[in-house]
Amino acid sequence: MGFYRFVLEPELTYGINKHLPSEPMAKFLELPESPLLTLNMITPESWLVEAVNSSCDLDNIHLQDITGTVIAEYELEYILLEGHCFDVTNGQPPRGLQFTLGTKNNPVMVDTIVMANLFTEQKIL
């Protein structure tokens, strides 16, 4: 048995002092108290989301043993960006190509290397 809530902010808006006016939230009311419950987030594979603050062990929630409300705060720690790079002359990945990721104001925030291990070619005779 599972209980789900969908929470999505289509656009980030900032309030005073560049703080979010309110955090996205999901509430579960009138859940059964006897089963063992787990609170987690289902996110895209490329997101690393971690619980940073909670009022109890989120893997072993017995509502009958808890007084008050179970509260958990999650943060998006990292997003994995994936892409493909091919040499226009031969269509192969350029092994060892180094490139950087950044913004207009900070053009070199992260560096990376193109690896050819995702592309294999097999010939059948």
End-to-end CA distance of the chain: 52
Judgement on whether residues 19 and 63 belong to the same structural domain of the protein: yes
Instruction: Please name which of 13, 101, 82 lies closest in space to residue 44, comparing C-alpha atoms.
Output: 82
Judgement on whether residues 72 and 15 belong to the same structural domain of the protein: yes
Q: What is the pTM of this model?
A: 0.62
Judgement on whether residues 9 and 60 belong to the same structural domain of the protein: yes
Judgement on whether residues 49 and 108 belong to the same structural domain of the protein: no
Number of domains in the chain: 2
Judgement on whether residues 100 and 58 belong to the same structural domain of the protein: no
Low-confidence ranges of the chain (pLDDT < 70): 12-22, 113-125
**Boundaries of domain holding 117:** 85-125
**Residue 18's pLDDT is what?**
63
Q: Is 29 left (phi over 0), alpha (psi -120 to 50) or beta?
A: beta
State what percent of residues in the chain have pLDDT above 70: 81
Judgement on whether residues 89 and 74 belong to the same structural domain of the protein: no
Judgement on whether residues 65 and 105 belong to the same structural domain of the protein: no
